[in-house]
Amino acid sequence: MASKKLKVGPKATLPFKTSNREKRQRLHITRKKALGNETRDERRRRRKQEDQDPRLREERIRKNVPLTLERKRIWDDVDRDTGDGLGISVDVERLKRRKLEEEARQIEQNGIEDEAQDQSAEEMDSMIDSESESETEPTEEKSKPPTKRTATERATSPVQSTTSTNLDLAPETLALRFPSLFSVDPPPTPKILITTSLSSTLHYEAHLLTSLFPFSTYIPRSAHRYSHKFSVKEISSFASNRNYTAVIVLKEDQKKPTGLTVVHLPQGPTFHFSISNWLEGKKLPGHGQPTQHIPELILNNFRTPLGLLTGHLFRTLFPSQSELQGRQVITLHNQRDYIFLRRHRYGFREKREREKNVIGPDGKDVQGVEGIRAGLQELGPRFTLKLRRVDKGIQRGSGQEWEWKGGMEKTRTKFQL
């Protein structure tokens, strides 16, 4: 909501256009101070009114919702039968909900038709019974079809998650194209081989990745002058024969991490990410030291078919059973097609006297956590990923499933993940 223009005080209404430079500077400083005083007085006046009437604060919070690019996001208008392509920006959860609502509506119509048929049959039976002279015993009532409440519950119960990614909403054709990623059973225990590009100096960063991904091993890539230069396909074949589930290749440019290639074994697909904003844990203020416990995994805001495919890839890189005693959590948050990776340790403590209550998304206090607070300590490393290409098999020659192109960002409110 656009804020009202404040009335400037009399000291700021002096003529602003003057040929004297020093006088213009003084007038500008005076005008800024006057505007600041007016804003501060208005804020204090509004706070006093809202303390007397809390409904004014609720109404202001309800109206003043920031209009971000995420809220203005647009989707491709496609049917549920054609919404399985990786290049289509479609909300899978919305399509699933629409499909369930149509099924529930069909069940309700069938139930109404069955009720009408039962009523007509009962009326015919009652007419025949009334015309007949012999008395008959009353018959038992027939079983009724599913009611409207049951059909509605069936339509709305499977889709309840709105803040995090629901990995059970994968389209059927997507699961058929990538059966190793979209398996019904929980994925096997990961075993990851981490290496680098040729002639790389990122040995320390590769060791950091071994602490980030459980059950991973770093093997330096040979760069000797007369040695054989193993390709990614040869490395993947070597790892597949030794029961590895994935190969991660860290790429370098000017002694900085710039790319990450993840190969899902044994036959792909292969995901190519670019890396930006790499920051080690020791450079974070107040950082902690990670432990060997298996972390919890949070996948957030992967909504399209391509996003679900990427989310399933990250799910296979971490064990399904986490060790809660370690209190470590890894978050992969997708926003505007950028995947932000963070690792934290959380802890619980008692609420301090000056701390306010926890406010939920509806603007009201959250019940049940009055005396408990949760603190976060970042462990690192932190970096940002952007998906560039998805290959069907291993390396580019196996065929491309999806590739990022510069024209995709022409419409700033349309995203791929």
Spacing of C-alpha 186 from chain mean position: 20
**Measured between alpha carbons, how far is 95 from 88 in angstroms, rounded to an integer?**
13
DSSP letter string, 86-155:
TT----HHHHHHHHHHHHHHHHHHHHHHHHHHHHHHHHHHHHHHHHSSS--PPPPPPPPPP-HHHHHHHH
Task: Please check whether residue 330 is in contact with residue 296, taking contact to mean a CB–CB distance below 8 angstroms.
Answer: yes
Model confidence at 359: pLDDT above 50: yes
**Measured between alpha carbons, how far is 243 from 225 in angstroms, rounded to an integer?**
30
Q: Give residue-wise pLDDT tens across range 17-65.
A: 778 888 888 888 888 998 899 999 999 999 999 999 989 998 998 888 8
Tokens of 416: 């791929």
pTM of the model: 0.74
Q: Regarding beta strands 192-196 and 216-218, do their DSSP bridges make them parallel or antiparallel, or are they unpaired? A: parallel
The residues near 306 (Cβ < 8 Å, ≥ 6 apart) are 86, 87, 387, 390, 402, 416, 417
Peptide bond into 319 cis (omega under 30): no
Tokens of 136: 């008959």
Model confidence at 196: pLDDT above 60: yes
**Measured between alpha carbons, how far is 318 from 328 in angstroms, rounded to an integer?**
13
Q: Regarding beta strands 246-253 and 192-196, do their DSSP bridges make them parallel or antiparallel, or are they unpaired? A: parallel
Q: Give residue-wise pLDDT tens across range 109-118.
A: 877 766 767 6
Model confidence at 278: pLDDT above 90: yes
Q: Give residue-wise pLDDT tens across range 303-324.
A: 888 999 999 999 999 998 899 9
Model confidence at 270: pLDDT above 90: yes
Tell me, what DSSP letter sits at residue 359? B
Residue closest to 212 by CA, chosen among 331, 325, 309: 331
**Residues 216-237, mean pLDDT to the nearest whole number:** 87
**Quick one: pLDDT at residue 156?**
36
